[in-house]
Each structure stands twice: as structure tokens, then as C-alpha cells.
Amino acid sequence: MKKIKTAVFSIILAVVLSGGSALSQSDIPLVPLVKPINPKLIKITGTWNYNATMPTVQGICPAGSTASGTLTISKGSGARPYLLVFQSGRVCNPASLCTFNGTLSGNELVFVNEAKVDDEGGEVTNAFRLTVLTNELATGEASSRYLQPDGMQCQWSYGITLNRKARK
């Protein structure tokens, strides 16, 4: 009887591992590993480490690369109450592209910037949306778009994670 139970278990395991079961990965609901912090407790100002994934590109522009470094978030003013400035790990030309204006709504941070970038009238727009999971972790998606007056454009999309050591 024990051999039969072991054989049945082995067959079930083989079916599940081979993907032959009726249950697929798309049937399993995704659950966040960290429940987001209560928005009333969020403290996002300060220095953060960031990691950006390899961008995917649409258009004829270079693909770009992964990036990591530090950034700071401080209080802004008016309609954009937060200011984010990349301190390292990113090349910004013009330099103003390292500075983003942002808002916080619930657990969602949204930062944006834009600038003319060349003598052909090209413009760049950057934006990213982050979910603040804890006061030490925020994660989300970002995109950048380059647009020339003649209509040529490229768009990059990538993931970005912000983290910092716990405050003492």
C-alpha cells in the first residue's frame, strides 16, 4: 500500500511539475509580499538607494542599461509637494533631468520631469510611479520618452526600486 501511495504522489508531482495539471500559473492570484504601509505613517523624505532594471525600448534609440545609485526626496511646494533629485548612478543631460517634481496620494508616489535636450528641438519626458510599501521600500515602474518635432520618437520602460536602511 505504501508503494502505491508513493507512486500516486510521484505521478501527481510529475503532472504538476510538467505543467500538465488543470491549475496553471495564471490561476494563482498574485499576493503582495508586503502589505503597504498605512499612508498616514509614510515618511518618504531623505536619502534612498535605487535600482532600475534593464529598459525595454520602442523605437530606433539605444536600449539603455540597468542603473543604481542614490537619490534624495525632499519637501517641494505648490502642486508638486515633493522634489526628487538623483545624486549618483544616472547621467542627466541637461542637468535638470536629474530633478523630478512629485506627488503622494495614498501609497502612490508619482514623479515627472521634462526638458528640451538637443538643437533639433527634441524633448524628453520622464515619469515614474512607485508604491510605498514601507518607509524603507518603494517599488514601481518608470518610463522615458524622446520626441523630435518631425515625429520620430522612442520610449523606454523599466522597473525601479527604492530602499534605504531602517532609521535609528
Give pLDDT < 50 ranges for the chain. Answer: 1-24, 166-168
- Going from N- to C-terminal start, the domains of the chain cover 37-163
What amino acid occupies position 94?
P
pLDDT for 36 equals 86
SS (H, E, C) 72-125: EEEEEECCEEEEEEECCCCCCCCHHHHEEEEEEECCEEEEEEEEECCCCCCEEE
pLDDT for 27 equals 58
pLDDT for 76 equals 83
Cβ atoms 116, 122 nearer than 8 A: yes
CATH number belonging to domain 37-163: 2.40.128
pLDDT for 85 equals 97
pLDDT for 54 equals 95
pLDDT for 28 equals 58
pLDDT for 32 equals 53
- Phi and psi, residue 98, nearest 5°: -90, -5
Contacts of 90 (CB under 8 A, 6+ apart): 67, 69, 98
Give the CA distances from residue 7 to residues 10, 21, 27, in Å, rounded to whole numbers and listed in that order: 5, 17, 27
H helix and E strand count, the chain = 1, 9
Long-range contacts of 111-114 (CB under 8 A, 24+ apart): 111/82, 111/84
Cβ atoms 137, 161 nearer than 8 A: yes
CA dihedral 75, 80, 83, 84 (to 10 degrees): 140
pTM: 0.76
pLDDT for 77 equals 82
Looking up cell 517634481 gives: 101
pLDDT for 29 equals 55
